[in-house]
Amino acid sequence: MNATNRVVGRTALVLVGLALLVLGVGAILVQTLPWAATAWHERAGVLDALGADAPRETSVTAWTWVLGGAVVLGVLAIVVLSTLGGGRVGTVVEDDGSAGGVAGSVRIDAAAVQHALSSAIGAMPQVGSLAVDVFRVRGSRAIRIRVRPRRGASPRDITTGVEDIVADLDALLGDRLPVLLEIARGGADSGRTDRVH
């Protein structure tokens, strides 16, 4: 459950990979083929023309490309960095009342839902410890509940109890939220794999 835009991340990886591939192939060609080395030296002469004595038109065009590339990379970096953070959200329900025609807005914080679920699930005798998080997944909110049961507790009993509590929460909120339930098997010191419901 991560908020990072996959399309942006994959596009950035492809562009960086292609740039490194082109630079690597170019370096190999310049070192191994005489015609590639000659072409490189001819192109490098253009770079000499961009120094302090360069004509104004050539200098402006070159710096426009350099600054334009820097701006594109900066915007891409800002987009990627702004979407990091694991996808956690601060609100579970936000409704401005426009669908029902009622004026006003309703906002339920994730902390309230986390506290309510932690109190209700933590009171179950089978539960040793738990963690509740609210995430944004594909534009909607989802709840992840990680339960570490007491030794000998039945995962089926825990699942049934959590399902009943989540059903009560859905009735209270008036909306059905997706819930991922992870149960660590065998108690706190077990190395066995978790069960996901």
Residue 36 CB contacts under 8 Å (≥ 6 apart), including other chains: 26, 29, 30
Q: How many CB atoms lie within 10 A of CB 148?
A: 19
pLDDT at 97 over 70: no
The ranges of the chain annotated as CATH 3.30.70.1350 are: 91-196
User: Sorting pLDDT into bands at 50, 70 and 90, what band is 46?
Assistant: low
> What separation in angstroms does the CA of 34 have from each of 23, 81, 90, 110?
17, 43, 61, 65
- Position 50 scores a pLDDT of 61
Give bridge partners of residue 91 from the DSSP assignment. 109
Selected residue with higher pLDDT from 129 and 92:
129
- Mean predicted confidence (pLDDT) in 164-175: 85
The residue among 173 and 127 whose pLDDT is bigger is 127
Percentage of residues in the chain having pLDDT higher than 70: 77
pTM: predicted TM-score of the whole model, two decimal places? 0.52
Q: Which fold has domain 91-196?
A: Alpha-Beta Plaits (3.30.70)
